[in-house]
Amino acid sequence: MSAPAVTEIPHANAEPGILADLLDLTKARLNLLVLITTFVGYWMGAAHIEWLRLIQAMLGTALCAASAAAFNQLWEVKVDALMTRTADRPIVSGRMKRSAAFWIACVLGIAGTAWLALAVNVLSATLAASTIVIYVLIYTPMKRHTAWCTLVGAVSGAIPPVVGWAAANPHLTLGAWVLFAILFTWQMPHFLAIAWMHRDQYRGAGLVMLKSDDQTGIATAATSFGFTLLLTAATLVPFDAGTAGGAYLGGALLINCVFFLAALNFFADRSRPVARRLFFASIIYLPLILGLMILTKA
């Protein structure tokens, strides 16, 4: 069946406004996570906080993330038109021309990379630019061919805290890679829960977000559970390395225990409500564990 014409896709709000469309194009709500993790990376990597430098690092990283989101929507117009959850996006609905979206994405990416290079340092700029390359040129096309795309997408999503660290400290020591590992492993149960909940829409749009032979969801749930265990291990590295004390250890064990139970429940019951609970548990988990790291930083 051929994809429907973009102009034929119905949408609830034909004229939400230019600002709303720009926020939608750049996935502003999703990219709030980029700002948070960049902040945490800087905070954990800095010997002392230079607030102007921190703001510049967050701004540059956010611009690069917005660019990647816009390029992604440009690439996936036909795919988005086939899913109700994305059919009202600005390009799909016809409210924004592709040419306009393309130049917006280019300007955001160039501005973000240049800002970081000039106002912060070249390392942070290189890392931020790499998120665009990985997300747009590798992850996005892979979604049409293999479920391994989720791992590649997780790499892109795990780089922002390293950008923040690099902005504060050009030496990417153990702490930077712990943050990368936490974000990388956390994304797997988070995104797999989403993919399982919306598997019919993804399948109908030709996106391979899950293994094709995983009809019962047992492989998806097992993968989520496995990465939850890896996530727990990653969060305990600071204590094992002697950079965090007992207060951090106690809090991390408690937070991980709750998330572990949500993943275990999903392994036992792959229903949509249980997957949704794992998704919400992941949303609660990340700010708690990152906040704990900030509060207990030596």
pLDDT in tens, 171-214: 999 999 999 999 999 999 999 999 999 998 888 888 888 888 88
**Residues 241, 270 within the same domain:** yes
Same domain, yes or no, for 234 and 265?
Answer: yes
Is the pTM higher than 0.95? The answer reads: no
Can you give the pLDDT at residue 205?
86
The reply to whether 160 and 178 lie within a common domain is no
User: In this structure, is the dihedral angle defined by the CA atoms of residues 109, 111, 115 and 117, taken in order, positive or negative?
Assistant: positive
Residue 167 near residue 121 (C-beta atoms within 8 A):
yes
Question: Is residue 7 situated within a structural domain?
Answer: no
> Is residue 21 domain-shared with residue 163, that is, in the same domain?
yes
Token duo for residue 15: 């004229």
Are the CB atoms for 206 and 79 separated by under 8 Å? yes
For residues 290 and 53, what is the distance between their CA atoms, to the nearest angstrom? 20
Q: How many domains does the chain have?
A: 2
Distance, in Å, from the CA atom of 227 to the CA atom of 46, rounded to the nearest integer, reads: 29
139 and 248 belong to one structural domain: no
Asked whether residue 164 falls in the same domain as residue 50, the answer is yes
Looking at the fold, whether 214 and 247 belong to one and the same domain comes out as yes
Q: Are residues 129 and 179 in the same domain?
A: no
Under a CB-based contact definition with an 8 Å cutoff, are residues 181 and 215 in contact? no
Give me the pLDDT at residue 157, please.
Answer: 94
Q: At a CB cut-off of 8 Å and minimum separation 6, what does 225 contact?
A: 189, 263, 264, 266, 267
pLDDT at 213: 80
> What residues contact 156, with CB distance under 8 A and at least 6 apart?
68, 131, 134, 135, 139
Range of the domain at 241: 173-298
Residue 180: closest CA among 14, 12, 38 = 38
Residue appearing with tokens 């990376």: 41
pLDDT, one tens digit per residue, over 221-258 is 999 999 999 999 999 999 887 678 889 999 999 999 99
